[in-house]
Amino acid sequence: MGHSAAVWDYKAAVEVTKDWNGIDQVMLRSPRGSSARVSLHGGQVISWRNNQGEELLFTSNKVSFSFSFHFNYEAIFLLDDPDVLSYAVAIFKPPKAMRGGIPICFPQFGNCGSLEQHGFARNRVWTIDENPPPLHPNDSKGKSFVDLLLKPSEEDLKCWPHSFEFRLRVSLTSDGDLVLISRIRNINGKPFSFSFAYHSYLLVSDISEVRIEGLETLDYLDNLGQRERFTEQGDAITFESEIDRVYLSTPNVIAVLDHERKRTFVIRKEGLPDVVVWNPWEKKSKAMMDFGDEEYKQMVCVDGAAIEKPITLKPGEEWTGRLEISVVPSSFCSENLDPSLGP
C-alpha cells in the first residue's frame, strides 16, 4: 500500500499518513462522507465521524493538549517548567496508548493477570497486512478498509510465551457503520488462552442522559467489588455514579441511547459473549493523568469482550471476534433488539 492513497473504488479511498511520532495512520472514507482514522500504534481506531463530519468516539482533551506540546516542542523548554514538561511526556511518550477511541485489549483485559493493564497489543506498532487470508463474503462489504497485522516481539514472548498472528480489519460500510474484525491464530506448538475486548469509548452529550438497553436481567461481575457477581435489576442501565461491570452471556445486539443528541449507538457483535460497561465518574477522573476532571460526562465505554471464560486455541486454531457500531435516530429502542440476530 505504501504511503500514497490507494483507491478501492471510485468513491471510497484509503490514505496513509504519519502522526507526530512518525507512526503511520490510516484514514478511511466512505462514499457518503463518513470517515475513520486508525493508528498503527496499537491498531487503535482514534476517530470515527458520520456523514456530517460529527465525531462519534470520545478522546480525552488531554490528548489534544499533548499534541500542541509536541508540535511546539521548543515551547516546552521555553516554559522552563519541569512539571509541565514531565506531564506532557508522561501522557504521550510512546508506547502509551491514547485515552479514547477503540483500544484493543489483548491478550489480557484489565489487570486480571500477570501482564500490563489490558495487555500489550494496544502498546505495539502494527503493520499493514498486504495479503491477508480471505474473509467470509459477508465481512467483505466494507467500501473502505485496512488490514493490520501484529506478531509477538522477542520481548512479548518473554512475558507471554505464545506465538500468534493477530489480524485486524477496520472498515467502513457504505452507510458509514464502523466494523472491526479480529482474527487471532495460534502458531504455537501448544494451546494458549487469552481474554479480549474492543475497549470502545463512545462520545455522548451527558452521561446522566444515557441509557443502555439489552443487558437487563443479566448477571454481571462488579469490578468495583472484587468481581462479585450480581444480577441486573433495572429495566436499563443508567448512570448516577461510577460503573465498572462485565455483563455475561449477552445478546448480539446492544443499544446505547443518547437522549440529548436524539441518537442511538447500536452495537452488534459476534464471538464476544461479554459486554463491559465503564464510566469512571468524578473521583476517578480526577485521579487519571490522561483524563480531564469533567470528561466522564461526555463518554461511556461499552465493550464487546471475551473475559469471564478466556478463549483457548489449540495449535493452528483461529478465533474471530467481530464488532459493528452504527448510529440511528433515538426512536430505536430495545423493542427493536432481537437477541437471536447476528451482526
List the Cα angle 200/203/207 in 5-degree steps: 105
122 is in an annotated binding site: yes
Among candidate residues 214, 126, 199, the one with its CA nearest the CA of residue 169: 126
**What distance in Å separates the CA atoms of residue 26 and residue 46, rounded to the nearest whole number?**
10
Q: Is 124 annotated as a binding residue?
A: no
The single residue listed with the C-alpha cell 473504488 is 9
Owner of C-alpha cell 483457548: 312
At 24, phi and psi to the nearest 5? -65, 140
Q: What is the CA radius of gyration of the chain?
A: 20
Residue 265 near residue 256 (C-beta atoms within 8 A)? yes
On whether 227 is known to bind a ligand per the annotation, the reply is no
- How far is 267 from 236, CA to CA, in rounded Å? 15
Residue with cell 463518513: 34
What is the distance between the alpha carbons of residues 319 and 61, in angstroms, rounded to a whole number? 35
> Which residue from 269, 9, 50, 317 is spatially nearest to 142, judged by alpha carbons?
9
Give the C-alpha distances (Å, rounded to integers) separating 7 from 48, 136, 203: 19, 22, 30
State the Cα–Cα distance between residues 145 and 13, nearest whole angstrom: 9
Least Cα distance to 320 among 115, 133, 176 occurs for 133
- Annotated binding residues, as ranges? 99, 117, 122
- Could you tell me which residues are annotated as the binding site for substrate? 99, 117, 122
